[in-house]
Structures are given as C-alpha cells and as structure tokens.
Amino acid sequence: MPWVSLLILVPLAAAVVLGVLPARERRAARGVALIGTLATLAISIIVVALFDRDMAVMQQVDHLDWIPAAGVSWDVGVDGISIWLVLLTTVIFTLGTIAACQRLPERRGPAFLALIMLAQAALLGLFTAGDLILFYVFWEFMLIPFALLIWNWGGDDRRGAGMIFVVYTMAGSLLMLVAIIATALTAMDATGELSFLIRDMQGVAFGEATSTILLAGFLIAFAIKIPLWPFHGWLPRAYSQAPIVVTILLAAVMSKAGVYGLLRIGVPVFPEGIGNLLIPVAILALIGIVYGSLLAWRAPTMRLLVGYSSVAHLGFIVLGIIVIDRMAAQGAVLQMINHGIVAAAAFAVVMVISRGTGTGDMDRLGGLAKGAPRLAVAFLFVTMAALALPGSNAFVGEFFILGGVFDQYAWMAVIAMLGVIYAAVYMLRMYQGTMNGPARGVTDDGRAAEMGARDAIILVPLILMMMWIALWPGSLVGATRASTDLALAPAQVAEGRPVEQIGVLPARAAMTPATDPAERP
C-alpha cells in the first residue's frame, strides 16, 4: 500500500467531503473530520511501524512521474528526519480536530474543519515531499487554509493578521521558487538531466559561490517561516488573532516547516554554501533567542508570551542545525518534536484559561490555582517543559543542541544560555501570574477555568508524550541518527571538520577533491 501517499490523500478526501457538506450538517461534519483525522493518525502509525531505523535515505517512497518533461514528480517518502514530524503532525491535528469539534464555530462549521483537514494534508505533504517542486507546492498550499482560518474565524484584527501572514510568507517563498528552478537548472548542467528530486541534487557539486547564492534564496523563505529574527513580524499578530485551535496548529506543526526545510534541503543540498552563511544565521538565531525571551518577559497577553517564546525556542533549533554538528542536529530534530508538543500544550492551557475566564490578558488574571488545582498541575508540567527544566523532554533536546554547539563554537552556547535563564523568568511569570497570587479577574476562585474532561482529552496525551520523551529519548533519537548523519556529512566534509566527527563519509567527497578529508592533515 502506498501508505505515505495515503497520508496526504486521506485528509484531502476528508476536506473535500467537508467542503461540500452544507453548513448546518454540524454533526456529520464532526464525524467526517474525526474519522478523517483518526484514519490519518492510524496510517501514520503504520508508516512508523514499517520504518526501518537503520536506513539513512528516504524509504517507503511512492514515485510517480507528474510532469515528466519538466522533471517534476510526485515523490513522497519518509526518513529519520521526517518520520517523527509526520507522527507529530497527525497527533497534534487529531487533538486539534477534537478541540475544534468541541467548540465548532457557529458560522460555517464544516468549512472550518475542512480547512483544518486541508492544512493537515499540506503539512504532511511538505514533510514527506522528496521533490522540490512538490515541496514548493505544499509549502504554498499550506498557507491557504491557515490564512483562510485566520481571515474568517480570527479575532478583531483577523483581516490584517491574515493578510500579513499571506503576503509576508508568500513574498519570501517566491525567492525560493526562483532558487528551486535555478538549482534544478544548475544541477542539469552537471548531470545532463532535469530533475527536481532532492536526492538527485544531493550528489551535485555546485561550487561554493553558486551554492551560497542558491542557499540564500532558500534561506529567506525558511527564515520567514521559522521565523528567524528579524523576520518574525507576522508571528505575534497571527498567533494572537487566529482562533486558538489554529494557533495550536500553527505553533506546534507549521513552525517546524522552516527548520525542516533547512535540514532537508539547505544543509544537504548546499554543503559548500553553509560555511559562508553559518555565522550570520547563527548570530540571527542567537539574537532571536535573547530577543524573543525579552519580549516574552514583557508580553501583555499569554498568547503573545508563548508566541515570542517560540521565536526563542526555534532559535535554538536553528542553531542546532546550522552549526553542522551531529549531536546538535540530532538534538534539533528531537527538539522540533519537543517544541511541537510543548507549544501545543502551552496554547492548549491558554485555551482552557481563556475559555474559563474570557481573557488571556496577563494583567487581568491571577490566583486560578485555588479553584483549578488540576489545571495548575497540568500547567506546571507544561511550564517546566517550556523552560526546559532538566529532566523534562525539552531539556534533552536543548542539552544536546547546546552540547553540540559548544563543541563547535563555545561562545554561541554561552550566549544561548542566556535564553535558558530568561525562559525561567518568562515562563514563571506566565505560570505564577495566572495561577498564583491573590485571585484576580475571576469569580469563584477561578473554578470556571478548571480543566474538565474535554480539556483533559487534549492536555493529558500531550503531557504523556512529554513524559515519554523525558523518560526515554533514546527511543526517538535512535530512528533519526542515520538520516541526520547522512544529511550533515557533505557539509561537514566541506567545512573541513575532523573525520571522527563525521557520521558517514558521503559519496560526494570524491566529487569535491579540494575538501577530501583524506588529504587534510
């Protein structure tokens, strides 16, 4: 069975069904959405079960020529970098769909669910695409459902936020399209064959200058999507104006698209270019860490706080990828999953509090723990994971990211540690500001904000996943090792890293004799 293709097609089919449902068929819409998303989850579990942990290249590949004349194909598969992201996507979307079904918007409910399904299909396509054009199609396609969700069901400033979200991210993507085409054409000069398959491009030596320019084209798009400082301007408005369920999906899953692209395309396809852009990108990531933390410290609402903290957290992930270190990169892959879970949980807590009290304003909340002790416990878990308390799942990723960074550039790790300290400050501000102190802005000691069974359905699985990763991260990392090593190896060779740091010696080393490790003293 072409499971990976089904992974994309099933939610797409669900979206089509939901799209033609009349707006009043709310029960049927819920059913279709839940069945669609659960089926997708089941398929993703099958994909994970069939996954071969020791295989470095894409596996379970479904290949179909799409536009043969242009070398474009439907090529989807999974590898160690994407496998957990696929599972994260299906899990988070399952929980998100449940949350959406619990509070389906009064207006055009089925359409709301249809767009969520569409977004899921697009993201799964993005994480599995093995062809650059396909990647680009899903990259842009993903914007549409999210933008419409913000545009139609968002807060007061939904139009502005939706517009900025679309225009800004699309402006960046256009450069990527140019870079994609340029890359394929340049590769054609070398191989004599036009192909947009990523694996075909990995063997091509572009030369340092070309590589740098092409990578820069991709980086703009990635930087906006990640978002890397100072390209994060769309984030606060989108996160605070989107319906909260959509914010969960944006923060948990969509924010991984940029860093995923960096590791899937940027590093392995343009190893010669990384060296020139390593320090600038790393500095932007570091600024993002400190800057995001500072803004999170002073942010007026919970949503903004978590949103800015995401800027900081993604700075860590970018840092882990860009320094080209095996430990850091594997930490980064793990941290993508961790951040997905933690951000989803954090926004889910925000959702529970906002629903119970009617506000997400930090100044108007306080002392909820008395009436909502169960929520306080869940929130505490989330807080500790978000500030990466040692022993939490996020700490595992952060520890190995920074450990790897420290190996290569110790000063970067030291600066990044500032973000670790600030994380404690702003996350405690959020936790204590809402849960502790004298009760504020709520009646009934905040009992209305208590976590009920319907909230627990969403929060408890997330917390269980956090505990799982905290207790045994090896179970995830074991699957990512081979692919991450393969993705990094060319860049490590190009950078002239010591041989013992390199996981696998890439075939292309022979193509670029100037950087052959054997000749290095």
Partner 1 sequence: MATALAWIVLVVPLISGIVLAGWPGEPPHAVTRLLGIGSILISFALSVAVFIGLLGNAADDRSFTSSAFEWISIAGTDVDLSILVDPLSVMMMLIITGVGFLIHLYSAEYMEHDRDYRRFFASMNLFVFSMLLLVLAGNFFFLIVGWAFVGLASYLLIGFWYERPTAVAAAKKAFVINVIGDVGLVLAAFLILRELGTLDYGEAFAGASGLGANSGTVLAICLLLFVGAAAKSAQVPLHTWLPDAMEGPTPVSALIHAATMVTAGVYLIVRCHAFFDLSWLAGDIVAVVGAITLLMAATVALQQVDIKRVLAWSTVSQVGYMIMAVGLGAYASGMFMLMAHAFYKAALFLAAGVVIHALHDEQSLDRMGGLRKYLRVAYFGMGAGCLAIAGVPGFAGFFAKDDVLASALNGGAIGVFCWVVGILGAFLTALYMFRLLFRAFFGPEPAGGYQPAPHPSRWWMSVPVVVLGILSIVGGWLQLPFGWTEISDWLLPVTGEGPAILEPTHATEVVTIIVSVVMALGGIGLAWWLFGADPERRIRLAAIARGPRAVMDDAWRFDEAYDDVFVEPGREMADVMLTRVEPAGPQGIITGTVAFVRGAARLVRSSQSGMVRAYAFWMVLGIALAGIVAALIAAGGS
Binding site for partner 1 (CB under 8 A): 163-164, 167-168, 171, 229-234, 291, 294-295, 297-299, 325-327, 330-331, 367, 369-370, 373, 377, 380, 384, 387, 389-391, 395-396, 399-400, 402-404, 406-407, 410, 413-414, 417, 420-421, 424-425, 428-429, 432, 435-439, 472-474, 477-478, 481, 503
Compare residues 100 and 334 and give the one whose CB is closer to partner 1. 334
DSSP code of residue 254: I
Amino acid at 462: L
Compare residues 254 and 387 and give the one whose CB is closer to partner 1. 387
Compare residues 105 and 403 and give the one whose CB is closer to partner 1. 403
CA distance 385 to 430: 13
CA distance 512 to 272: 10
Q: Cβ(71)–Cβ(199) under 8 Å?
A: no
Report the nearest approach of partner 1 to the CB of residue 254 (Å).
Answer: 18
CA distance 398 to 331: 7
Report the nearest approach of partner 1 to the CB of residue 500 (Å).
Answer: 8
Report the nearest approach of partner 1 to the CB of residue 120 (Å).
Answer: 27
Compare residues 229 and 347 and give the one whose CB is closer to partner 1. 229
CA distance 252 to 347: 9
Report the nearest approach of partner 1 to the CB of residue 121 (Å).
Answer: 28
* H/E stretch holding 174: helix 158-191
Give buried/exposed letters for 285-297 (b at 16+ CB in 10 A, else e). bbebbbbbbbbbb
Pairing of β 72-78 and β 59-67: antiparallel
Contacts of 33 (CB under 8 A, 6+ apart): 14, 18, 97, 100, 101, 113, 116, 117
Report the nearest approach of partner 1 to the CB of residue 420 (Å).
Answer: 6
CA distance 441 to 317: 37
Report the nearest approach of partner 1 to the CB of residue 317 (Å).
Answer: 16
DSSP code of residue 270: -
CA distance 127 to 141: 13
Compare residues 276 and 432 and give the one whose CB is closer to partner 1. 432
Report the nearest approach of partner 1 to the CB of residue 428 (Å).
Answer: 5
Compare residues 94 and 480 and give the one whose CB is closer to partner 1. 480
Beta bridge partner(s), residue 131: 197
Compare residues 343 and 479 and give the one whose CB is closer to partner 1. 479
Q: Which is nearest to 406 in space by CA: 296, 325, 462?
A: 325
Task: Give 91-118 as a 3 state SS string.
Answer: HHHHHHHHHHHHCCCCCCHHHHHHHHHH
CA distance 273 to 286: 20
Report the nearest approach of partner 1 to the CB of residue 436 (Å).
Answer: 4
Compare residues 70 and 471 and give the one whose CB is closer to partner 1. 471
Report the nearest approach of partner 1 to the CB of residue 498 (Å).
Answer: 12
Say which residue the tokens 């990044």 belong to: 416
CA distance 7 to 59: 14
Report the nearest approach of partner 1 to the CB of residue 225 (Å).
Answer: 14
Compare residues 127 and 291 and give the one whose CB is closer to partner 1. 291
Identify the three-state secondary structure at position 129: strand
Give buried/exposed letters for 474-492 (b at 16+ CB in 10 A, else e). eebbebbbbbbbbbbbbbb
Compare residues 230 and 513 and give the one whose CB is closer to partner 1. 230
Report the nearest approach of partner 1 to the CB of residue 364 (Å).
Answer: 16
CA distance 493 to 205: 12
Compare residues 28 and 424 and give the one whose CB is closer to partner 1. 424
